[in-house]
Amino acid sequence: MSQRFTIVVEGSGSADCGAGERVLVALERAQGFGRLKNLPCRLPVGCRRGGCGICRARVVEGRYRRDVMSRAHVDVEEEADGIVLACAIYPESDLVLRLEPKRLGKAERKIEIAAAIALPAP
């Protein structure tokens, strides 16, 4: 039988995850079964392959193995601080995660800055 781990999302619930299963897949399944009840919205899911940055999370506790993650969304310093993409990690122990907001890319930052400049001051 395959080894199983518990993935806890701080303040939201938990998911059961196999050793060879991507954490995001386990979280999606748990949300579908109502085990992640306190999320402020649907679980953020994008490309499911480490490229879009939508599923950023911080590993607060536990060990994991990682697959390729886009450095545009998780740089080396962030990774050293526990930031990962949930679609690109596999548990090696029980994990505690905290969902993190997606980091804006250059194009998104330019749009945000342009929108802020265009707004009249209060």
pLDDT tens, residue by residue, 33-82: 777 776 655 677 778 878 888 889 999 999 999 998 888 889 999 999 99
Confidence class of residue 30 from pLDDT cuts 50, 70 and 90?
confident
The per-residue pLDDT for 54 is: 84
- For all residues of the chain together, what is the average pLDDT? 82
Query: Residues 18-47: what's their mean pLDDT?
Result: 80
Phi, psi of 47 (to 5 degrees): -75, -20
Distance from C-alpha of 83 to C-alpha of 59, rounded to nearest angstrom: 6
Domains in the chain with CATH codes: 4-118 (3.10.20.30)
Q: pTM for the full model?
A: 0.76
User: Which helix or strand (DSSP H or E) is residue 89 part of?
Assistant: strand 89-91
